[in-house]
Amino acid sequence: MATSGAPEVAAQAAGGRSSQAGSPAGEPSAASQGLSLRLGAMAAAGPAEVVVVGSCMTDLVSLTTRLPKAGETIHGHKFFIGFGGKGANQCIQAARLGAKTLMICKVGKDSFGNDYIENFKRNGISTEFVGQTEDAATGAASIIVNSEGQNVIVIVAGANLLLDSEDLKRAANAICKAKVIICQLEITPAISLEALKMAYANGVKTLFNPAPAHAELDPQFYTHSDIFCCNESEAEILTGTPVGSPEDAGKVGLVLLERGCKLVIVTLGAEGCVMISVDDPIPKHVPAGKVRAVDTTGAGDSFVGALAFFMACYPNLSMEEVIRKSNFIASVSVQASGTQSSYPYRKDLPQDLF
Q: Return the pLDDT at 35.
A: 53
* Average pLDDT score over residue span 170-189: 97
Q: Is the pLDDT of residue 325 over 70?
A: yes
What mean pLDDT comes out for the span 184-209?
A: 97
- Range 163-192 average pLDDT: 97
Is residue 38 scored above 80 in pLDDT?
A: no
Can you tell me the distance from the alpha carbon of 158 to that of 139, in angstroms, rounded to the nearest whole number? 5
Whole-number pLDDT of residue 292: 84
Grade residue 271 by pLDDT with cuts at 50, 70 and 90: confident
In this predicted structure, the answer to whether residue 327 has a pLDDT above a threshold of 50 is yes
pLDDT at 170: 96
What pLDDT shows up at residue 17?
37
Q: pLDDT (tens digit, 9 = 90+) per residue, 126-164?
A: 999 999 999 999 999 898 989 887 888 888 999 999 999
Q: Hey, what amino acid is at 229?
A: C
Distances 119 to 14, 16, 124, 154, 185 between C-alpha atoms, Å? 24, 20, 9, 22, 22
pLDDT > 90: percent of the chain: 75
> Per the confidence metrics, is the pTM higher than 0.95?
no
Question: Does 6 have pLDDT greater than 70?
Answer: no
Q: DSSP letters of 172-202?
A: HHHHHH-SEEEE-SSS-HHHHHHHHHHHHHT
Catalytic residue chosen out of the listed positions 226, 248, 295, 301: 301
Q: Using CA atoms, how far apart are residues 72 and 320, in angstroms rounded to an integer? A: 45
Listing DSSP states for 24-82 in one string gives PTT---HHHHHHHHHHHHHHTTSS-SEEEE---EEEEEEE-SSPPPTT-----SEEEEE
Is residue 295 part of the annotated active site? The answer reads no
The DSSP-derived string for 205-225 is EEEE---S--TT--THHHHT-
> Angle, nearest 10°, between helix axes 111-122 and 30-43?
70
Q: What is the pLDDT of residue 40?
A: 47
- pLDDT at residue 20, as a whole number: 39
Residue 176 has pLDDT above 70, yes or no: yes
Nearest to 298 by CA among 14, 56, 99, 6: 14
Q: What is the pLDDT of residues 206-231, one digit of tens each?
A: 999 999 999 999 999 999 999 999 99
> How far is 221 from 260, CA to CA, in rounded Å?
9
Which of 3-7, 13-17, 48-52 shows the lowest mean pLDDT across its residues?
3-7
Average pLDDT score, the chain: 87
Tell me the mean pLDDT in the region 21-32: 43
